[in-house]
Amino acid sequence: MGGAFTFSDMREDGEAVQRGTYLEIDRPRRLVFTWFTSEEQEQENSSVVTLTIEPCGSGCRATIVHSMDERWAAWVKQTEMGWSSMLGQIEAELASEA
């Protein structure tokens, strides 16, 4: 697999750049990729995100599991909030199209 990606978003304190590599793409069920915010983290290769999508009634359920090194434990809540926000934005966009 191995396709790399980089993207950024603007925040109050400036531009936040994220990068990673797709490890597995099993459409439409599963997406696994690395997730880094610095070159140092990328070299350590210790941050993996797994997105699983399952049918649920007339829609679907998306579950995100982000595995990272223990030393980033102080960032768990902020990371959870970030992923929840992204899923919420996707849900709002899909609802507006219905």
Mean of per-residue pLDDT scores for the chain: 87
**The token pair that represents 96 in the structure block:** 């507006």
The whole-number pLDDT of residue 55 equals 95
Which pLDDT tens digit goes with each residue over 69-92?
Answer: 888 889 899 889 989 988 898 889
CB within 8 Å of 51: residues ≥ 6 apart: 30, 31, 32, 62, 63, 64
Q: Is the predicted pLDDT of residue 2 greater than 70, yes or no?
A: no
For a pLDDT cut of 70, what percent of the chain falls above it? 95
Give domain limits for the chain: 4-73
**What is the average per-residue pLDDT within 22-30?**
95
